[in-house]
A and B are shown apart, each in its own frame.
Chain A
Amino acid sequence: GENVEQHPSTLSVQEGDSAVIKCTYSDSASNYFPWYKQELGKRPQLIIDIRSNVGEKKDQRIAVTLNKTAKHFSLHITETQPEDSAVYFCASFQTQGGSEKLVFGKGTKLTVNP
């Protein structure tokens, strides 16, 4: 079945630095890749998503890149701030074998040190 690998599992950066989180997926038919931010005890919040017909998407300090050939996608956060500290999850939408579901990575705990 579909598998999504996410790295690193923890990431610590200084305020103002950039943070990069990478994910790989196995289902070549996947065509939708969202990223969620989850603060402690809160709901996962959609922060950005990308579809397979584009290679890059940017929204202010957040950008996502997608390489369909290599089956990997990445989240880039620039000029990090302490409020960016949270767990970030990547996901891939799977449609194999009649199944329709988001498959999530295990998450990256990002800490931005002031």
Chain B
Amino acid sequence: NAGVMQNPRHLVRRRGQEARLRCSPMKGHSHVYWYRQLPEEGLKFMVYLQKENIIDESGMPKERFSAEFPKEGPSILRIQQVVRGDSAAYFCASSLGTGDQPQHFGDGTRLSIL
């Protein structure tokens, strides 16, 4: 009964490189959400996806950031040309449906930019 799986747990990149974060939702869940958390701060919504569709990307920067949830495989959050300010913990959550369906979180990916 695996929960939400994220990898890698820790990722170190140099400025200008690309970061790819992966998220496999809980079994049976088809709704995926990505959040960013800075130290000592709350969770900020980035993007909401269903299989092959981006439903709401209002929290994701227009440049350098993209997300996908293909028909097969995990959801991917991609950050191109990373900068120091991208350093944060990135959490993925999944749910059975939208609205009042509980969201369950993965362990997160801690991204550090050198």
Would B104 and A46 count as touching, CB distance under 8 A?
yes
CB distance from A22 to the nearest CB of B (A): 15
Partner of B105, one of A44, A49, A51: A44
Partner of A31, one of B33, B100, B107, B108: B100
Q: Given that A43-B91, A51-B100, A100-B55 are known contacts, is A89 also in contact with B108, CB under 8 Å in the complex?
A: no
Residues of B within 8 A of A63 (CB): none
| A98 interfacial contact with B, CB 8 Å | yes
Main secondary structure of the interface of A (DSSP, over half): strand
| B99 interfacial contact with A, CB 8 Å | yes
Interface of chain A residues 80 through 114 with chain B (CB within 8 A)? 89, 91, 93, 95, 98-107
CB distance from A85 to the nearest CB of B (A): 16
| B59 interfacial contact with A, CB 8 Å | yes
Q: Given that A32-B100, A89-B42, A104-B43 are known contacts, is A99 also in contact with B108, CB under 8 Å in the complex?
A: no
Please give the residue numbers on chain B whose beta carbons come within 8 Å of chain A beta carbons, in ascending order: 33, 35, 41-45, 48, 55-56, 58-59, 91, 98-100, 102-108
Partner of B48, one of A36, A43, A101, A104: A101
Would A105 and B42 count as touching, CB distance under 8 A?
yes
Number of A interface residues at 8 Å Cβ cutoff, please give it. 25
Would A103 and B45 count as touching, CB distance under 8 A?
yes
Q: List 29 A-B contacts (CB under 8 A).
A: A31-B100, A32-B99, A34-B103, A43-B91, A43-B105, A44-B43, A45-B105, A46-B103, A46-B104, A49-B100, A51-B100, A89-B42, A93-B100, A95-B99, A99-B56, A99-B58, A100-B48, A100-B56, A100-B99, A101-B33, A101-B45, A101-B56, A101-B59, A102-B33, A102-B43, A104-B35, A104-B42, A106-B41, A106-B42
Bound form: Cα–Cα A93–B98 in Å: 10
CB distance from B49 to the nearest CB of A (A): 11
| A61 interfacial contact with B, CB 8 Å | no
CB distance from A21 to the nearest CB of B (A): 13
Given contact pairs A34-B102, A44-B105, enumerate 16 new A-B contacts (beta carbons under 8 Å).
A34-B103, A43-B106, A43-B107, A43-B108, A89-B42, A91-B43, A93-B100, A100-B55, A100-B56, A100-B99, A101-B56, A101-B58, A102-B45, A104-B35, A104-B42, A106-B41
